[in-house]
Structure 1
Amino acid sequence: MRFSTIIIALAATISAIDIRAHIGDSCVGSYRACRNINPRVCCSFSSSANSGRSSVSVVAIPTNWRIRTAASSGGGCRFFAGQRDSGGSRTVCLPYTTRGDRTGGRYWFLNRKRAEDESCPADQPDGGNCEAVVEADTLGLADGTEYNISGLTSEKLQELEEIADTGAGADAVPAEFQVFRRSIEA
């Protein structure tokens, strides 16, 4: 009985926060994303300053979490391009304001209990400045359909991204990409 209570309590604390970079300036349109990203890890949408992305959203935030979200420009998380606190919202949009294309995003905890842990995430076990970076692993269409892009060649990624950036839905995506389609949980 006690073991099942612990498992239920642990399951309630697990989150799946995603960071997305959209082509639209108010978090609309197709996007590149890092799914299930840890705090203080940079989600890099582009290593160059020209990503073609205008805004960043952080989604699936538990409403009892208080986090700060940040968008970056200049390639990965190189330059600060804006930040916003969640304030109990499930989604935060960092719309385009200034400073070029959005090339990275991250979040971190504001509340004391979670912020006290200053250790770096498992992605960066050696400590340091907690500058872990992960590449976007998902491409989302405007209709919400998502594709796993982590194994695609740069040519195939560009082909899929060109389709996505037109605003097309899943029916416009060639059959060869359907194996990469992700199922969306409700």
Structure 2
Amino acid sequence: MQSLAVIFACMAAVSALDIRLFEGRDCKGGTFTCTNVNPNSCCGIPSGGVSSVGFYGILPQWNIECRGHENGRCANTKTIQVAFNTNFKCLNDGPYTGGGYGFRANKARGLGLDKQTSGEQQMPDRFETADGRKYNLAALDTDQLVEFIDQTANGTSLEAYKALEVME
């Protein structure tokens, strides 16, 4: 039984979630994505707001709190919902400027995972339009990302960012 706890601890130590900030409700529409977000870290945009936040890649045995933030990146926690026995969670009470998660104390101890307190914040590294076009945002600095977010929010053409488009 102890070896099972060690296996779960190792799985969780190498697993991180993708957090997607959706323009539409119910985790639909264009999305800003942060890949491989660690516990007690946050994915956020500096300005604007999105309608919903999706958490992808949750291990079913995890008992986590999914958090939606407002007022710029991860400034204030607006919504907290528990996710357990699922691999996905969607928060719909936007507008949000960020999303993060952390392990609930009782489950974290059971898996040998104490809450981390890094407080790391990351900005989205990908954007996907509602019609499926994908952009790699990893090379953008904060000012460039703010401009990109403003253009997507205003429905402005993304032709200026054609070099960032990912062809699959």
Q: TM-score, with normalisation over the residues of structure 1?
A: 0.67
Q: Within the alignment, does 1:103 sit opposite 2:90 as a pair? A: no
Q: Within the alignment, does 1:80 sit opposite 2:82 as a pair? A: no
Structure 1's 92 and 12: CA in aligned 2 closer, same or farther, altered over 3 A? closer
Q: Compute the displacement of 1:56 (Å).
A: 0.9
Aligned to 1:126: none
Aligned partners of 2:60, 2:160: CA distance in 1, in Å?
35
Equivalent residue pairs, number: 156
Structure 1's 115 and 109: CA in aligned 2 closer, same or farther, altered over 3 A? farther
Work out which of the residue numbers 90, 93, 98 in structure 1 matches 2:90. 93
Aligned to 1:177: 164
Aligned partners of 2:160, 2:83: CA distance in 1, in Å?
34
Does the 8 A contact of 1:67 with 1:85 survive in 2? yes
Q: Which has the higher helix share?
A: 2
Q: Compute the displacement of 1:175 (Å).
A: 4.4
Work out which of the residue numbers 132, 148, 160 in structure 1 matches 2:120. 132
Between 10-19 and 65-74, report the one with greater CA deviation.
10-19
- Ranges in structure 1 where 5+ consecutive residues have no aligned partner: 1-5, 121-129
Question: What is the CA deviation profile of residues 40-93 of structure 1, one whole-angstrom value per residue up to 9, with x for unaligned ones?
Answer: 0121222x4xx2311111112122222110001011222221121112111101
Q: Within the alignment, does 1:56 sit opposite 2:53 as a pair? A: yes
Q: TM-score, with normalisation over the residues of structure 2?
A: 0.73
> RMSD of the alignment, in Å?
3.4
Aligned partners of 1:92, 1:182: CA distance in 2, in Å?
28
Does the 8 A contact of 1:30 with 1:164 survive in 2? no
Aligned to 2:3: none
Between 136-145 and 80-89, report the one with greater CA deviation.
136-145
